[in-house]
Structure 1
């Protein structure tokens, strides 16, 4: 289990580090004689700060063109030139703008906090230029995806479309997920604020960060002391830790609530089943449709990780041989979309409905009007306890029974919640802790798609707990194919902006839905396995259940072990291609 969780500490950094150079492998520098290039543009805003940008135009093009804007924090002039030239080659003015404090900007960096103003200031500048036709489209992944949604919070009339890949939501997908702070986010603040570009040396010091995590874990110190254990103050982390709720601080950075109602431009979102930040990308989509049901918002999702989503996938992903039909070209799709919006071209052929998803194992794309309708049937499985063991039962138990779990939160030997999908296909899984619920074998091949969602019912002896769920397909040959996982804090289950502590000794209901969406064709004879556990390992805060700020709790707050009575009235819901009567 330690081996898999160490992979979490490395692989999850892909999300927070934003090392998107990989996503640029297919971009090449072209002959400069074909372009008009300005790589040192300075954009002075009306409110006193200055941003830098690269602007590239293709010679021989019409005098006025729409602009393709890529806004990012990982400043690299060569990369900016490649990105802008790619846009220019496709009939746009290519613009790559650096975030505040990066590259040539004389100001201090401020990750997340200023994009709602700064991106729109760049758009203001663009439409004042002689080569602008007054229209702007934005695209890009991770932080660049976040920046597009930040700009849309106060939608500029010149911004006509956005194409966010694996878009982050500060405070939801990172540096915490469902209100649980992750240690994998730790070094990102140094990486992007230590200098005007990126501090690759500090980012690549894997031994330092691994030692920091394990030293903190062993010490039992409060999470907000982790930078003391590292030996270097981390003021950005401390600032973020002071906002454990998804409060006004986080809400100010991206559209929130009714803000989505005003976002009436076409949107194309792209993410992957194994994208660490998928919960953020899909939160934008869900909220957009919630507040603006008629929004023209499309989703492409398939068997991609954080980087793979930005290029269109790789043939082999963490031991899984990806279906050939799943491999697309994200950049080509982006500029086909731009041509559709700006030039009256055809909509990308893959977009046959709002939700466009590849069914792993079927080598087939499917299309649906919403995430909830990715399959025709919604089937509920109860976490049942029978004489034959714990089962995922399609029948509601006639009598409520409670299943016991005990976790010593002061223990530093066992790790709990081995949830990270690397590799995706495992020969065996950790079984020394947690509860395991399995279905009967399926009588036929069947596809299952959508989010892992449902509700848990439990009685605990403390005021809070951090919950982990992992869903697998157990194949007839006995392999474990990981489909989805969920990580979240029980006290925020109803409202991520307001903590509501559990009452010890009382039966509590804990709904969940911000898990990883997936789609997979299950083999005949396969079964579904759900692992239910408490999150306790070196890769996230440890919630000791006192009700105090979790970042300030220490091992001294552990007290008696956490005792949980899980009710058999707990359930999960999944989308299937056939009705329940045809499954078994």
Structure 2
């Protein structure tokens, strides 16, 4: 039966925009909408020009999904011109459909074009999410002197990090021969993005059956039906190679520009974005102009305060909800660009770090993590109870530190069956908070381990990195370990706080280090922290087949047994970063 494929064509250009064809250095023309303020715009400079906000994206500049007309309305009301561009090879723009390769040069040439327009005062800032956050870093690498500030949201300077942080940089095995970098589990959802958005000028939406083997076959069927294929998909599946997503100078080696990093605690690529911020904050020449905004939001800008999201609060479908969402989405960017593009407020008016403590509101800090935060570790205890429902085994501290070998060595095993993998709690991890599901049913499975603290008598405020060191081995050649930290409520429901995953092999005989990312989150009084450990998360990730073969091309599978060991002088442990208790 043919795979149903929906071809998504460009939406009409809105009447308030004028579309231009911007010719770049190799003759390719890029479709660019320009929005200008009303006839009497505020705060023009002496020459009558305006600062410009540039947005370069591959998702159809006129689609309801990216709502750039609504974004432009907010910026033009503050005295900005706005230029929104389909990147090369997408929708109305000419050129080959190939991500990353031309973004640096095309960004430079577009900024150069802006500076020669009558409505421009020669100062440009950039804004946008995800891929169009990455196009900002590509422009930074090109070093056009007119680029004065950027606001990358839920993104990464190197898209490779989205795939590497699942394992190569998010986890390692301290086994024989010292620290050894690990490859990541196969993020099917992430690789599938390239198969749908980068196979041609338009987007092709289709839903392959994730249970079919080999997993790659239905994607190949789709490419045949479309009459084109995605070069980047071919690199990632089945080859699983590193992608060179920045060509020429790396943006961090370029001239520093002011950056407002906007990331979400529930964004599925938050590790990569936080790594960018921490890297630049460690460089004196960049740190001076680095700013962080970190909210309890996911990749699609759903908020923890609204989760799970009711229909009337869903900005993807409800216009009033979109209007409400835009306040929190755009206000930090407007305030930031007002400082660095318009000089409307002093630099001192901007907090270096503005961050949301989930369930407890917004805070500011001089740096991240907040200077007063400290690590607290919990050792995994009573593993025999971990295969049952929550609360399962224990997460135990003694006077705020890990017990130093006072517990006996113990272990627990579970079976990973590729034919019956642990189901993913959401269909779309980019919009995790849209449903924010209860993880307690997963914890009750025999192939999921669960460990929990005792209920906290007082609130526990998490503010910084979360990591796990798990002593896990397998009788299979290659295996995955997924770790999810949840808030276990008194009513028995468990909601995700952070997550991480690594891949290991049969040589692993030391602890697996799993980066569960950073968070700002209040565990309320009476609640517990719960750690869930499994070997699959399907279909967001392809399950390890148990044979050592590539999960994209494997046709045969076999169950494997994983074994977690804790206690003694090297217990498996969870480490969180906490703030001191609040005092009146």
- TM exceeds 0.5? yes
Q: Rate the CA distance shift 1:38–1:174 in 2: closer, same or farther, 3 A.
A: farther
Q: Rate the CA distance shift 1:122–1:458 in 2: closer, same or farther, 3 A.
A: same
1:337 and 2:336 correspond: yes
The answer for the alignment partner of 1:391 in structure 2 is 394
Choose the corresponding residue for 1:405, options 410, 413, 416.
Answer: 413
Q: Rate the CA distance shift 1:365–1:80 in 2: closer, same or farther, 3 A.
A: closer
How far has the Cα of 1:340 moved from its partner? Answer: 0.9
The answer for the alignment partner of 2:131 in structure 1 is 143
The answer for the alignment partner of 1:172 in structure 2 is 161
How far has the Cα of 1:426 moved from its partner? Answer: 2.5
Residue deviations 1:377-423 (CA, integer Å, cap 9, x gap): 2101122237876311223343562423232444x134266586564
Q: Rate the CA distance shift 1:555–1:291 in 2: closer, same or farther, 3 A.
A: farther
For the 8 Å contact 2:373–2:464, the answer to whether it is kept is no
Distance in structure 2 (CA, Å) of the matches to 1:297 and 1:373 = 15
Choose the corresponding residue for 2:99, options 111, 114, 128.
Answer: 111
Residue deviations 1:402-447 (CA, integer Å, cap 9, x gap): 423232444x134266586564363833211221111122222222
The answer for the alignment partner of 1:42 in structure 2 is 21
For the 8 Å contact 1:459–1:565, the answer to whether it is kept is yes
1:307 and 2:300 correspond: yes
1:279 and 2:271 correspond: yes
Distance in structure 1 (CA, Å) of the matches to 2:88 and 2:325 = 37
Choose the corresponding residue for 2:461, options 447, 455, 458.
Answer: 447
Helix, strand or coil: the match of 2:197?
helix
The answer for the alignment partner of 2:518 in structure 1 is 517
1:426 and 2:432 correspond: no
Distance in structure 2 (CA, Å) of the matches to 1:509 and 1:473 = 24
Distance in structure 1 (CA, Å) of the matches to 2:325 and 2:575 = 26
The answer for the alignment partner of 2:390 in structure 1 is none
The answer for the alignment partner of 1:495 in structure 2 is none
Distance in structure 2 (CA, Å) of the matches to 1:381 and 1:56 = 54
The answer for the alignment partner of 1:225 in structure 2 is 217
The answer for the alignment partner of 1:250 in structure 2 is 244
How far has the Cα of 1:563 moved from its partner? Answer: 3.2
Unaligned runs of 5+ in 1: 1-16, 22-27, 491-501
Distance in structure 1 (CA, Å) of the matches to 2:222 and 2:249 = 35
The answer for the alignment partner of 1:479 in structure 2 is 493
1:92 and 2:80 correspond: yes
How far has the Cα of 1:462 moved from its partner? Answer: 3.5
Q: Which has the higher helix share?
A: 1
The Cα RMSD (Å) is 3.8
Q: Rate the CA distance shift 1:48–1:507 in 2: closer, same or farther, 3 A.
A: same
For the 8 Å contact 1:54–1:80, the answer to whether it is kept is no
For the 8 Å contact 2:101–2:247, the answer to whether it is kept is yes
How far has the Cα of 1:67 moved from its partner? Answer: 1.5
Q: TM-score, normalised by structure 2?
A: 0.76
Helix, strand or coil: the match of 2:485?
strand
The answer for the alignment partner of 1:6 in structure 2 is none
For the 8 Å contact 2:376–2:576, the answer to whether it is kept is yes
How far has the Cα of 1:339 moved from its partner? Answer: 1.0
For the 8 Å contact 1:374–1:575, the answer to whether it is kept is no
Helix, strand or coil: the match of 2:287?
coil
For the 8 Å contact 1:20–1:307, the answer to whether it is kept is no
1:357 and 2:355 correspond: yes
Distance in structure 2 (CA, Å) of the matches to 1:88 and 1:74 = 22
Choose the corresponding residue for 1:377, options 364, 374, 384.
Answer: 374
The answer for the alignment partner of 2:365 in structure 1 is 368
Q: Rate the CA distance shift 1:349–1:369 in 2: closer, same or farther, 3 A.
A: closer
Q: TM-score, normalised by structure 1?
A: 0.76
The answer for the alignment partner of 1:181 in structure 2 is 186
The answer for the alignment partner of 2:89 in structure 1 is 101
Unaligned runs of 5+ in 2: 1-6, 168-183, 314-323, 387-392
Distance in structure 1 (CA, Å) of the matches to 2:533 and 2:349 = 36
For the 8 Å contact 2:305–2:359, the answer to whether it is kept is no
The answer for the alignment partner of 2:471 in structure 1 is 457
Residue deviations 1:44-70 (CA, integer Å, cap 9, x gap): 222343222122333345422221111
The answer for the alignment partner of 2:230 in structure 1 is 235
Q: Rate the CA distance shift 1:182–1:350 in 2: closer, same or farther, 3 A.
A: farther
Choose the corresponding residue for 2:58, options 73, 79, 93.
Answer: 73
Q: Rate the CA distance shift 1:123–1:336 in 2: closer, same or farther, 3 A.
A: same
